[in-house]
Amino acid sequence: MRQTEEDRKREQERAERIERAQLKDVKELMQLPAFRRYARRYLTLCNVFETTFTGSSETFFREGKRAVGTTILGEIMKIVPGQFAQMMAERMPDDEPEPEPGSDQ
């Protein structure tokens, strides 16, 4: 079946709606301290901030993890670069959340 101009236009509009929703998701999530801790933890687990070279085939595995992390980092930097700086500045020992108000800790 051949795609018409109207079909292409509808598909383009759909793709734009999806992209807007994804941008909005990242903006809203990065407002949350808990999500910034989560994102920072996964960027670290994905070796985004260190080399992946091992001299063996393990490098390929590490580069795969790093590719996922750099995709996440790229979205954050494109959409809310100031939030990235805030996320990194918020680093706490062991990424432990602060005690909740009124708790004994």
DSSP 8-state code for residue 56: S
pLDDT at 2: 82
- In the numeric block, which tokens belong to residue 105? 């800790």
pLDDT of amino acid 105: 59
State how far the Cα of 87 lies from the Cα of 81, in Å rounded to an integer. Answer: 10
Please write the tens of the pLDDT for every residue from 10-45: 999 999 999 999 999 999 999 999 999 999 999 999
For the ranges 26-35, 78-87, 88-97, the lowest mean pLDDT is seen at: 88-97
Give the model's pLDDT for residue 18.
97
Q: Where are the alpha helices (DSSP H) in 1-105?
A: 5-29, 33-45, 58-79, 81-89
Confirm if 72 and 47 have CB atoms less than 8 A apart.
no
pLDDT (average), residues 64-79: 96
Whether the per-residue pLDDT at 77 is higher than 70: the answer is yes
